[in-house]
Structure 1
Amino acid sequence: MSDTPPADPRALSQAQPASATESLYRAALGPRALGHYLPAFARFDELGVARPHWNHAAGWLGWHWLLYRRLWRAALLHMALLALALGAWWWLQANTGPWPAGVRWGLLAAIAVVAVAAPGWWGDAWLHAAVRQRMTDAVREAKTVQEACDRLARPALAHKAWVLVVLLEIAALLAWRMGGPPWGDSPPPRPEPLVGEAVPAPPAAPPAEPPPAPAPAHAPEPSVPPSPPPAEPPAAPAPEPVPAPAVPTPAPAPAPVTVAAPAPDNNAALRPRLGGHGVSVGIFADPANAERVAKRLRDAGLPVVSDPLESARGTLTRVRVGPLESAEEAAAAAETVRNLGLEARPYGPR
């Protein structure tokens, strides 16, 4: 009996707080994932400072995990910063023009990585600080460790706040989805060139009509010479030479008629025709819009041709890329045009 050494009071005093601390941690954290949190918190207590430590639940669930663990301030800050980043992304895209798909999705991916990495690496540190504060408050209000544990483990309405938030998110998503089509129709200003794209078919037909017009140009030729020759034979007598020279004066009249109509029409009909391959970008009713699109294409290093077209709606401007040597060049140019956020329709030799 006397061989058993008495227990060291200092060892007991050190073991009791460690056991009490673990009990308080268990009560404050609940039964879920204790195998992850207890070793991490023990390491933080040993070092005296919290270090970055990866937490899968915190990273992938984001602010939902923060709400579940009642980290209200961190959850609001995370949500506000995420909303600010997405709002800035949308505002910049709307005000600086359409971005290439790589830039647009790359920025979204960067925002998502930061939104996952921040709570994933620092979630345990935030939770450790919050749990330590709850444990301190419970110990101050309780008379025993067991009573403090009961206070920490007592269910509260705040524990279910995350459920209400998830339900609100689902309701908002359903409301947006049901009312989504009107919002999704906001981009139709872009299809304006598409409406004009249907116009190229009619203009192709009119150029065929001008070629018959030159026929009258040959008709006046026989009409002019026959009239003067008959007048010369009667000029032999002396009294009649005076009226004869007065007849040729009407001859200049037919000349302007033959030149005025066909020549401009042929030039106007031939000007829109380009040899080789090309890319049709669009037809615009506003010349300023057409010039803006043409400038963007030239800045991208593409050859641009702008042609005026007459239609029932007035003068339109057709913008094309070309002429190009091969179908491969036309396909590459079309891809470049699409990366600029514009419509592109390659065509072959006409």
Structure 2
Amino acid sequence: MNADTASFTSTPADPEGAGQQSSEQLGTALYAAALGPLNAPHYLAAFERLEATGRVLPGWNWAAAVTTLVWMAFRGLWRALAGYLAGLGVLALALWGLWQVGTPLPVPVLAGLALAAVLLAFVLPGLYGDVLVHRQVRRQVDAAVAAAPSLRDAMLLLQARAPNKPRLLWLTVGSAAALMTLVALGAWGCGGWPIAPILRRWWKARRWLPRLPRLHQLRRLNRRRLWLRLHRRQ
């Protein structure tokens, strides 16, 4: 046992049990370092279940189901994100083509197909999100262990690259801005919401925002001067 793994191991009486326990503890510590501080216990439990069975088992991940795009970007699942967007694009084009061609299918059937597609787009990431993260984390751990001179350096490297709260904050703000932009453009394209006057009013109001504290100070000063004048007259 070297100094790099001493903090993750114990010394039971059985040497084989000690080696197995130290290996499990070290693997858990490397996984935790790669996962980051957010929702790590959920993924560690899912990883333990997947590695115990050795099969791809479905689970449930609320973050992957509800906020699929943000979750994939946050976890660095770029290949899965590209495939997911490509699948959504193909599905949307297929539904749009059926609608434009004038298929004999009734409108309720097309609406049901669209609803099923939307549910599938949310259910599949929720069921197999833990599997995607498990594969991603295993690749990251293998690459870090191969690149670092010691296990402690590998753990530090994984912690530096792990998802964190600032990344989640930037992704949340960016996704909210993108959603608002899409909604505004969609409303503008439908002709139901004139967004240009609203943007002009916001821009004019924005120029006055830095002046508000100054205006407040001037009002207080004017009130003070008026009070002094009235007091002198009396």
User: TM-score by structure 1 length?
Assistant: 0.46
Give the match for residue 102 of structure 1: 108
Give the match for residue 177 of structure 1: 187
How far 1:22 moved relative to its partner?
Answer: 0.8
Select the structure of larger CA radius of gyration: 1
Give the match for residue 230 of structure 2: none
Alignment of 1:304-323 (within 5 A): none
Moved over 6 A (4+): none
**Alpha-carbon separation, structure 2, partners of 1:98 and 1:177:** 30
Unaligned runs of at least 5 residues, structure 2: 1-10, 193-234
Counterpart of 2:133, as a letter, is L
Unaligned runs of at least 5 residues, structure 1: 183-350
How far 1:180 moved relative to its partner?
Answer: 2.8
Give 1 or 2: higher strand fraction.
1
Cα 1:37/1:113, change in 2 over 3 Å: same
2:149 is the alignment partner of 1:143: yes
How far 1:120 moved relative to its partner?
Answer: 1.1
Secondary structure class of the residue paired with 1:154: helix
**Alpha-carbon separation, structure 2, partners of 1:55 and 1:49:** 18
**Alpha-carbon separation, structure 1, partners of 2:56 and 2:109:** 37
Cα 1:135/1:164, change in 2 over 3 Å: farther
Secondary structure class of the residue paired with 2:58: coil
**Alpha-carbon separation, structure 1, partners of 2:143 and 2:134:** 14
Alignment of 1:170-319 (within 5 A): 170-181=180-191
Give the match for residue 255 of structure 1: none
**Alpha-carbon separation, structure 1, partners of 2:132 and 2:126:** 11
Counterpart of 1:126, as a letter, is L
Cα 1:156/1:133, change in 2 over 3 Å: closer
**Alpha-carbon separation, structure 2, partners of 1:116 and 1:32:** 21
Contact 1:139 1:145 in 2 (8 A): yes
Give the match for residue 47 of structure 2: 41
Contact 2:70 2:172 in 1 (8 A): no
Give the match for residue 134 of structure 1: 140
Secondary structure class of the residue paired with 1:54: coil
**Alpha-carbon separation, structure 1, partners of 2:162 and 2:59:** 28
2:16 is the alignment partner of 1:10: yes
Cα 1:111/1:30, change in 2 over 3 Å: same
2:131 is the alignment partner of 1:125: yes
**Alpha-carbon separation, structure 1, partners of 2:143 and 2:57:** 24
Counterpart of 1:89, as a letter, is L
Give the match for residue 80 of structure 1: 86
How far 1:130 moved relative to its partner?
Answer: 0.7
How far 1:145 moved relative to its partner?
Answer: 2.4
Secondary structure class of the residue paired with 1:105: helix
How far 1:163 moved relative to its partner?
Answer: 4.6
Give the match for residue 211 of structure 2: none
Find 1:30's aligned residue among 31, 36, 39.
Answer: 36
Report how many residues are paired.
Answer: 179
1:261-311 deviations in whole A, cap 9, x for unaligned? xxxxxxxxxxxxxxxxxxxxxxxxxxxxxxxxxxxxxxxxxxxxxxxxxxx
Secondary structure class of the residue paired with 1:179: helix
Moved more, 5-14 or 66-75: 5-14
2:98 is the alignment partner of 1:92: yes
How far 1:143 moved relative to its partner?
Answer: 2.6
Counterpart of 1:41, as a letter, is F
Secondary structure class of the residue paired with 2:191: helix
Task: Say which structure, 1 or 2, has more relative contact order (CA 8 Å, 6+ apart).
Answer: 2
Give the match for residue 214 of structure 2: none
**Alpha-carbon separation, structure 1, partners of 2:161 and 2:183:** 30
1:143-163 deviations in whole A, cap 9, x for unaligned? 332221211111479956845
RMSD, matched Cα: 2.8
**Alpha-carbon separation, structure 2, partners of 1:156 and 1:126:** 16
Cα 1:59/1:107, change in 2 over 3 Å: same
